[in-house]
Amino acid sequence: MSEFVLCINNEGNQASLIVGKVYRRLPDPEAESHNMLRIVDEDLSEPDGYLNPASLFVPVEL
């Protein structure tokens, strides 16, 4: 999967995800096995990223 993903839906996460924004994805095979992605945003207080449902994103190539 791409290192970057585009948010296509922020339902349930309106405060933390912006539809149309590109986020960096961190590799996390365990999370991905549960259809989750580890996403990093500009809030660097959580350098390990946040887990979000993979269905909220599509991969993009930059």
pTM tops 0.75: yes
pLDDT digits (tens, 9 = 90+) for 19-49: 999 999 999 999 999 999 999 987 777 778 9
In which band, very low, low, confident or very high, does the pLDDT at 1 lie, cut at 50, 70 and 90? low
- For residues 20-37, b (16+ Cβ closer than 10 Å) or e, as one string? eeebebeebeebeeeebb
Q: What is the largest CA-CA distance in the chain?
A: 27
Instruction: Report the percent of the chain where pLDDT is more than 90.
Output: 71
For residue 44, the enclosing domain spans 4-60
Is the pLDDT at 7 greater than 80, yes or no? yes
Count of domains in the chain? 1
